[in-house]
Amino acid sequence: MSDDSATLFHNPDRNLALELVRATEAAAIRAVPWIGKGDKNAADKAAVDAMRAFLKTVDFDGVIVIGEGEKDEAPMLFNGEHVGSGDGPACDIAVDPIDGTSLTAAGRSHALSVLAVSDRGTMLDASSVFYMDKIVTGPEGKGVVDIRKPIGENIRALAAALGKDVADMRVAVLDRPRHEQLIADIRAAGAGTRLILDGDVAGGINAARRGTRIDMCVGIGGSPEGITTACAVKALGGFMQGRLAPKDDAERARGEAAGLDVDKVLEIEDMVSGDNTFFVATGVTDGALVAGVKRDGPIIRTESIVLRSKSGTMRRIEAEHLVEKWLEA
């Protein structure tokens, strides 16, 4: 290999995400009995218990920055909890044992089990403000779209960068009353919408990936989901901006007391800094990003994606698990 070609490669090192995927697989599998049963809290508890049990076996020193909530309300996987063996790299963690608990309870598609990890001190803790306005695109959106501009202007600019007709553009938005005007403006610009019932992490990822049916993901969703999505978008080389959206003056004050600039447009580096982020997701129910858990006789099948920003890789992992081993666990 020549010296020039050698510069294209990095020395191999440990991919933590390939160990973390066991935790999202476990959470997804344990949630399956609750799919379509109408009890989202039971589904979430089963996933939380399984994810935490597997996380403690991973060799890293993790602190949960984005978790199930404060300790008093979330006895496990709460904000500030330490997970892992305590050995190995020091990391910030975002956990969402089920992104889409309502989807799981209703038996709908697109529910995921999600983990995101970055180096210690690099993940923004935006938990004091529940909502975040965001815009996500592929790399073509860099220097082209801006969350401060009208949505129609952004759609036209991105369409030009992609070499597409505006009529062929598809924009993902959470289907919520607060987005009625946004949805109307997208359609008035000539683009089509992809309305998301719940769980907008997958919508953001699909907007950042090449070869999907979504060109852009916009609108107000959870701040924790926004930070988690940023970890994935960074690994994909995509574009993302966010802006915190406090629902009232009291929440604005809480955000400011926590040191957040609630009026600042957050670039992806503000949400997760550095270049060593990991993102792992396993399908709970079938979706456009990954397939859901399926049982085939003595086998449980799972599908996951593993993203890493340092190497710029996305791996798709299909696993087969023996049912008898899960019955013993």
Provide the annotated binding site. 44, 68, 96, 99-101, 131, 176-178, 198-200, 222, 225
> Which residues participate in the annotated binding site for substrate?
99-101, 131, 176-178, 198-200, 222
CB contact at 8 A, 204 and 134? yes
Distance in angstroms (rounded) separating the CA atoms of residues 177 and 160: 30
Instruction: Copy the structure tokens of residue 67.
Output: 């978790």
Residue count (the chain): 329
Asked if 82 and 56 count as a contact pair (C-beta separation under 8 A), the reply is: no
Per the annotation, binding residues for Mn(2+) are 44, 68, 96, 99, 225
